[in-house]
Structure formats: structure tokens, C-alpha cells
Amino acid sequence: MSMADTLVVLDFETTGLSPDLGDRAIEIGAVRIERGNVVDQFQKLMNPGCSVSPFIEEYTGISNLMLKESAPSDEVMAEFAEFVGDSNMLAHNASFDKRFLDAELERISLNYTGEFLCSLLASRRIFQNAPNHKLATLVDFVNIPSDGSFHRALYDSVMTVQVWNALLATIRDQYGVNDIPFALIQRLNKTPKKSVHRFLTNVRDQ
């Protein structure tokens, strides 16, 4: 699988941090990219059948009234499973979104076959001089224009694409690595930070 192939970049808004403690997805946003270009998108609020806390209403701008008027989770997640197909996926702090994807799809007995990449892990390796690795900080760090509408699923997934393209451009520009397959980023994200320079230099010289 190469970066030239399709990749679905996704982001969940949720009622909290842990599906194991009963937290649920309330919005999913995703874009399909090919060669770094957005070619399709998906955005849906979903009604989890429970109310969200005032903190989450404030944090996301998603109100209980909005969710009450939204399609149920099982319906939206089934549509999303169709959208993803067998594509690989990317998310900022992917372990978080993967946990919710797994939990929500398990509720409706659906599966997926793609694998996840994490832009947070890649950023910690490539942008080692960034002040921190929050999505909003990275958007600023790589000089991407933003209207600041973070914490909505589609907006964050689009911003993740922008950061992702900047990460790939940095790998190309700093190391002369022009072909960046999915598996290369998987190996990069398992490489200790101190060894990243040597790792990418070796890739270039192979």
C-alpha cells in the first residue's frame, strides 16, 4: 500500500475519553485523500441515545438538542463503514479514534480491514522542535491558515490532512525520500525519536 493509494482521514467527537467506561461517539468526520488531495468527504452527527455533559457541549459546540435531531448511531456508523470500505486510515492520536471505531462498529456487528496510521506519533518524530503536538498547535507550526473551528469532526480531519501533507513534504525535503509507502510510516512510528534521522537517512540511501 502506497501513499498514492486512498487513505481515509477521520476524527470522532465523543461524550468522553473512554468507550470502555461507556463513552459514545457523537460525530464522525472523514475525508478520503489520494496523493494528498481530498477526493471525498463524510460528516454526520449521531444520536447515541444518551445525553452529553455541559463540558462536551461547550468543548465541541454539539448540543443535546442537535443530537436529539440526528440519526441514530447504528445507522450513521453503518454508512461510515461503507464509506471506509477496505481503506487504510489516519487520525491524530489514532489510538483514540480506533478505540471508538472498534466500539461503535462492534455494537452493530460490523468490521473493517484497514490499518491505522497516527499523525501524532509521526509528528513527534518529524517535528521534534514543535512547541507541542496538539493538532491546533501543529496547524499553526506548519503555517496552515485556520479559522480556529477545532473540535468538530470534519474540520479536525481536514486539518489533520494539512498537517499530514506537511509531514510528508518535510520527509521529502529534508531526507530526499520521495516514495513514502504506508509501511514506511508504520516503521517510522515505531522508531525511537533519537534514531529517526538515521532511519530516514538509511531509507534514502537504500
Partner DNA sequence: TGCCAGGCCCTCTTTAGGGCCTT
- Show the site string, 132-171: x = touches DNA by CB under 7 A, - = not: xxxxx--------------x----x---------------
Residue 120 binds DNA, judged by CB under 7 A: yes
Residue 93 binds DNA, judged by CB under 7 A: yes
Could you tell me if 32 and 6 are in contact, meaning their C-beta atoms sit under 8 angstroms apart?
Answer: yes
* Pick 82 or 102: Cβ nearer DNA: 102
Minimum Å gap between C-beta 65 and DNA is: 17
d(CA 94, CA 51): 25
d(CA 101, CA 11): 10
* Pick 37 or 149: Cβ nearer DNA: 149
Q: Which of residues 3-22 bind DNA (CB under 7 A)?
A: 11-14, 16-18, 20-21
The stretch near DNA (CB under 7 A) out of 1-9, 32-40, 78-86, 93-101 is 93-101
CA atoms within a 13 Å half-sphere pointing along the CA-CB vector of 13: 27
CA distances from 170 to 145, 174, 184, 185 (A): 18, 6, 14, 13
d(CA 206, CA 201): 9
Strand, helix or coil for residue 42:
strand
d(CA 115, CA 87): 8
Q: Which residue ranges make up the site for DNA (CB under 7 A)?
A: 11-14, 16-18, 20-21, 56, 59-60, 92-93, 95-96, 99, 120-121, 124-125, 132-136, 151, 156, 189, 192-194
